[in-house]
Chains A and B, each alone.
Chain A
């Protein structure tokens, strides 16, 4: 009992850390920057990213370096918060590491599919090396899918990836792999929630994850059906077997013939009603915006440390995502207003 109460320190710590987030003025100033270097200088001199960017050469920093540094900050903060969350902190830390590992596996598969697996090394996140059991450096040496399975030999990912070996044409079912890996990830997190949490804590955590999964499934249906004209069977296999949407609802969405129809079906659900209030240019924005909105709410109002922990990480990752969006917008010389529309936090 006492140890559970001591997890409450996460509430104060996470909120204090969140208090140092970027302000509206910071976003405006970042949007006025003209280069990646200027963005890095601004973040270093005016925001909480000062420490993690302290040793960089502002004039020479690349976008990839900047993103790696920012993500490193999130990982370090998450590790620090998990340390204080005594009940489920250690398990949530593992969830976060697994998520990063899955991202790396998907990244190398994309490069393998593109025929340039050796380029993996350029974006390999060095800060992850000491947390993961996967030999990430070995990823840059692989030439085939079998090489990948060999590297993942001692991990649970091998078993998941084995059924997805390329066909005779060398085609890799990326979507299927992504679904399988994320299904594995979600199953492990739901197991943790069921085993180690209860009551309102479990309810709030489930709300965060399931609403995100529901909207992600919706997005996948739209993308695969409308953009790629995929068969319903294929679409079904690409969905995550979690979330609150019943099978018949998903079937209805898969039978729909246009994006508007699918969206209308979404609008009949509770989560859909909330999510569709956000203005969006493309459906892919909806899950991320809704997830941020949810976590922002819980960060302010929840009294459960593990909920606040997850919420803090989601909001921090969203902030970094927005910064990278700004950097990419600057690199591609987009107008400020165009970049601003793509940001999640500013338009929340």
Chain B
């Protein structure tokens, strides 16, 4: 079996030892808790434990505080946390003091930052007038003249030409940007209202310079000085924050690590239930950790426990969680299986089948030595640098493509590049398989169909085995993917196929009656026959008429699926031809040019084919796996084994 062996653990004890139990189980990193109440029939006297986690608030506060500082700590290892545990007894006041200090400093910083922003706006405003050589104090003291600083849209400035006769409507520009002129105008006190009205009509926007004194230049330097002081103050606060962090970093790490553990372990209680002053807790552990857990629990006073195999029929009803375990060679393909769905605990793990068939299908459909090697390298890069699971799958796929590419004699689309290799090794003048030759084309299609037939039969055999293991005799013997379906399918294929190919009469009346009609009848009445075989009391259908009508359509669907699933594999052959065809087009285009043009077109064409066809072939092969094969034997309704852990494994 390619799943980790699991056992169910039931624990009972006094409430006083619940913390110890959850801590031990949490530290094991191998305990998958389950809802204890679902394992008992009469739970009326049980109370679920939904206490608030006492560590949540402090952990959250510490987390938020570090985020606000832009800091981060790595979690200490479990052993280190055990060591430092005595030092974190005062965690509550520490978390409170630390977060309060940081919050205070950050608040001050924010206030200063806002003042700096205001200074920036003020400086920008005043900078427009820096070319005006005027003393603001003198201007304010003027009795007979009023001065206005501000800006005018460019359009309006051009309109001022119309006031050239009016000596009081004059604008003195000091600066200009794309949309506005910045400067000032002035007028005698008795005319200022009229002049203000004219400028207002021209959309003059006034800039008030109340706080400034001296000339524009001195005002600007005053503002710059003030801003600089505030920037220094902000830097000082930053320094204080950094100093605080340097001082407390180790303690923060210790407390944070300890709190993270305690928080996670405490959460295990949510799965437990209370009965008086006792608790019950249920979960799953890998079988190889049983002795370790026993050793720990034996040290506790009131705790009693039992282990049970997950294979037990009673335990199976609770759907044990599943962790796949395969050899390193096949492990990358667990990604595809998990994509479809994990197998139930007593279901067959299809990983090895997927690994082998996907390897073959991809290789056949994407057969090119050079391109296969490129795919392999791309997969390696994706796995190592980008940490992508798909990369690990592409490596064997690339190798398969290279192997089949060598067989079909294709190297980056050059169909005769490997001819010397064949001559040297086998004495052949050219490659043995030339996919674009007319006689080869039909053979490729035929072989694809035969491959499909083989894989469908293999899928049925797996289903029979899997169903027998699960004591599902209906599916094993009478279902469309069981013995009846297998006999029916293979007798049609080999009977008619053999008859056509060999010319001998295979399909006779007894053959048809026993190997085609009889299995068909078995499939039609599979539920009735299965019920009898399993000694089910309700084997009879409620209404025979409904049963027959329903099954007519269902059997029709089975028969159609046999045909379509088989024909679906023609795409394998089609992709062989497509690949060769696409490279033929690339070379046709390349031959229209010469020199560097030829090289570029071949290069770009290969890249394009690798990317596009690689993607298509990958998807099509997966489709064949999921739809044509998995649908025959695999439900994928398992749930994953997710033990409680504090630290994520990389």
Contact = CB atoms under 8 A, between A and B. Distances in A.
B155 interface: yes
B637 interface: no
Contact of A126 (B155, B179, B201, B205): B155
Given A60-B205, A64-B203, A65-B203, A121 B162 contact: yes
Contact of A56 (B158, B161, B179): B179
A225 to B, nearest CB: 37
A119 interface: yes
Given A65-B203, A119-B201, A124 B179 contact: no
B180 A126 contact: no
Majority secondary structure of chain A interface residues (helix, strand, loop or mixed) = helix
Nearest to A140: B162
A170 interface: no
A57 B180 contact: yes
B159 A124 contact: yes
Contact of A55 (B159, B161, B178, B203): B178
Nearest to B206: A60
A62 B178 contact: no
A62 B159 contact: no
Chain A interface size range: 10 to 19
Nearest to A64: B203
B618 interface: no
Contacts of B178: 55
A119 B162 CA distance: 11
Contacts of B643: none
Interface in A92-141: 119, 121-122, 124, 126, 137, 140-141
Given A55-B178, A55-B179, A57-B180, A62 B203 contact: yes
B201 A137 contact: no
- Which of B151, B162, B180 has the largest count of A CB atoms less than 10 A from its CB? B162
- Per CB-CB distance, the 10 closest pairs between chain A and chain B, nearest first, are A55-B179, A122-B201, A126-B155, A60-B205, A55-B178, A140-B162, A62-B203, A121-B159, A137-B162, A121-B162
26 contacts: A55-B177, A55-B178, A55-B179, A56-B179, A57-B151, A57-B179, A57-B180, A57-B205, A60-B205, A62-B203, A64-B203, A65-B153, A65-B203, A121-B159, A121-B162, A121-B201, A121-B202, A122-B201, A122-B202, A124-B159, A126-B155, A126-B158, A137-B159, A137-B161, A140-B162, A141-B162
Interface in B134-186: 151, 153, 155, 158-159, 161-162, 177-180
A60 B207 CA distance: 11
B206 to A, nearest CB: 9
B248 to A, nearest CB: 44
- Which of A57, A60, A62 has the largest count of B CB atoms less than 10 A from its CB? A60
Contacts of A64: 203
Contacts of A141: 162
Interface in B102-156: 151, 153, 155
Chain B interface size range: 10 to 19
Interface in A36-68: 55-57, 60, 62, 64-65, 68
Contacts of B203: 62, 64-65
A147 to B, nearest CB: 14
B364 to A, nearest CB: 48
Contacts of B201: 119, 121-122
A140 B162 CA distance: 7
A126 B162 CA distance: 13
Interface of B: 151, 153, 155, 158-159, 161-162, 177-180, 201-203, 205
Interface string A198-234: 0000000000000000000000000000000000000
A124 B162 CA distance: 12
B637 to A, nearest CB: 45
A119 B203 CA distance: 13
A142 to B, nearest CB: 11
Nearest to B150: A60
Contacts of A137: 159, 161-162
A77 to B, nearest CB: 19
Nearest to A123: B201
A56 B205 CA distance: 12
Contacts of A57: 151, 179-180, 205
A68 B155 CA distance: 11
Contacts of B158: 126
Contacts of A65: 153, 203
A55 B179 CA distance: 6
Contact of B159 (A56, A60, A126): A126
A221 B177 CA distance: 51
Contacts of A55: 177-179
A72 to B, nearest CB: 10
A325 to B, nearest CB: 21
Nearest to A60: B205
A51 to B, nearest CB: 13
Contacts of A56: 179
A60 B153 CA distance: 11
Nearest to B153: A65
Nearest to B159: A121
B158 to A, nearest CB: 7
B302 to A, nearest CB: 65
Nearest to B161: A137
A127 B16 CA distance: 85
Contacts of B205: 57, 60
B157 to A, nearest CB: 10
Contacts of B177: 55
A116 to B, nearest CB: 11
A57 B203 CA distance: 11
Contacts of B179: 55-57
Given A126-B158, A141-B162, 11 more contacts: A55-B177, A56-B179, A57-B151, A60-B205, A68-B155, A121-B159, A122-B201, A126-B155, A137-B159, A137-B162, A140-B162
B616 to A, nearest CB: 35
A141 to B, nearest CB: 7
A137 B161 CA distance: 9
- Which of B153, B201, B202, B205 has the largest count of A CB atoms less than 10 A from its CB? B153
A257 B120 CA distance: 68
A122 B159 CA distance: 8
A121 B162 CA distance: 8
A147 B546 CA distance: 100
A64 B155 CA distance: 12
Nearest to B179: A55
A298 B20 CA distance: 80
Nearest to B163: A121
A141 B165 CA distance: 11
A177 to B, nearest CB: 24
A150 B179 CA distance: 34
Nearest to A138: B162
Nearest to A137: B162
A124 B158 CA distance: 11
